A = this chain, B = another copy of it.
Amino acid sequence: MHTVHVPLRERSYPIYIGDDLLNRADLIVSHVPQKRVAIVTDTTVACLHLKPVAAALEAADIDVMPVVLPAGEQEKNWNTLNSLFDALLARRCERKTTLIALGGGVIGDITGFAAATYLRGVPFIQIPTTLLAQVDSSVGGKTGINHPRGKNMIGAFYQPLTVLADTTALNTLPQRELSAGLAEVIKYGLIRDFPFFEWLENNIDALMARNAQALAYAVQRSCENKSEVVVIDEREEHGQRALLNLGHTFGHAIEAGLGFGTWLHGEAVAAGMVIAGRVSAAMGMISASDVARVVALLRRAALPVSAPALGIERYIELMGVDKKVVGGKIRFILLRSIGSAYLTSDVPADALSAGISASVSDE
């Protein structure tokens, strides 16, 4: 087991990474302030992983209340959140009752937001069971729900007490979701870690084959990168944290344009990173050969490298409703090179059009 520490100003917390952590109740017990927890999960993950987690906690004398929500990105809304509040209130969960999110990004985001707002805040632990959640959404404290007008529009920054990333849980992950998680892994290489990008080029086949050691290193290096960024800029105030959104502004437009849930988040981010690369190339930053290198790696991870043909104007309209807009200007994360991203709201319209056009599929 490897431990990554997230040394935030207010409170430090550990991310445990390794095999067979789901039954390691000891890692949880040392963090909870009351011998009572609610495990929040979805119908898919409940069948796979709820029993071992609940059994281990009960064996450690913890009173466990499971709450099983419907599965899917389309459930990341107020109705689902409110059904969680109903369950917590019906069972009289208190201010010291810990909420444990057991599942992917949707479960982590909803549960985290519920923990941030139930009785004005209760303790919270993340047990991410997808690669995407392990390398991205479970780390850094972003929580929230979608609104019909946009993704993650309602939420809070709320840090967990600890995160358990069990790489064994990834064995049950559908291949498409493994790939979606790899999009975020590759992102860390692109924005700030060229050696990791090279490591990924050398190990992408092992990762796709779910080699345990390779996965553990990919999760660890991703969490380390994310933790370093979050510690510098916890609330996305200084620009550094915004770099984690490489591909996300375009990706959100793809998700919103096609309807949330059509593409997986990681798939949209992959195509979004290709657009970001091409816009950067059109502005004379990253070289065309480096863009090709990025496309090649994403392809080997079975990720989409062309974006849906929504039309340039629709892309720009959809990107306008984004949390990253400041002073009416869309802020873009672009690439100087592989391993070096930067934030700018100063992108010429022709470079933007050229980047999007060159990345749109002909279908």
Footprint of B on A, CB under 8 Å?
Answer: 34, 78, 82, 85-86, 89-90, 92, 94-96, 113, 116-121, 142-144, 147, 149-150, 152-157, 235-236, 320-321, 323, 325-328
A34-B327, A92-B325 are known contacts. Are A156 and B121 too (CB-CB below 8 A)?
Answer: yes
Beyond A120-B142, A144-B120, A147-B85, whether A156 also contacts B153 by CB under 8 A is no
Known: A94-B326, A117-B117. A89 touches B150 (CB 8 A): yes
Alpha-carbon distance between A171 and B110 when the two chains are bound, in angstroms: 44
Asked if A153 and B235 sit within 8 Å, CB to CB, the answer is no
Set of chain B residues within 8 Å of A119, measured between Cβ atoms: 153, 155, 323
A contacts with B: majority SS: mixed
Q: List 11 A-B contacts (CB under 8 A).
A: A78-B78, A85-B153, A89-B153, A89-B321, A92-B328, A94-B327, A119-B153, A120-B143, A120-B157, A121-B156, A121-B235
Please determine whether A89 and B149 come into contact, CB atoms closer than 8 angstroms: yes
The count of identical subunits is: 2
Specify which chain B residues have a CB less than 8 angstroms from the CB of A147 in the assembled complex.
85, 89
* Known A121-B235, A323-B119, A326-B95; contact A90-B156, beta-carbon cutoff 8 A: no
Q: Closest residue to A35 on the B side, CB-wise?
A: B327
A86 to B153, CA, bound (A): 10
Complex Cα–Cα for A153 and B236 (A): 28
Contact with A120, one of B78, B118, B323, B325 (Cβ below 8 angstroms) = B323
Q: How far is the CA of A149 from the CA of B85 in the complex (A)?
A: 10
CA distance A4 to B116 in the complex (A): 29
Given A78-B78, A116-B156, A157-B120, A326 and B96 touching (CB < 8 A)? yes
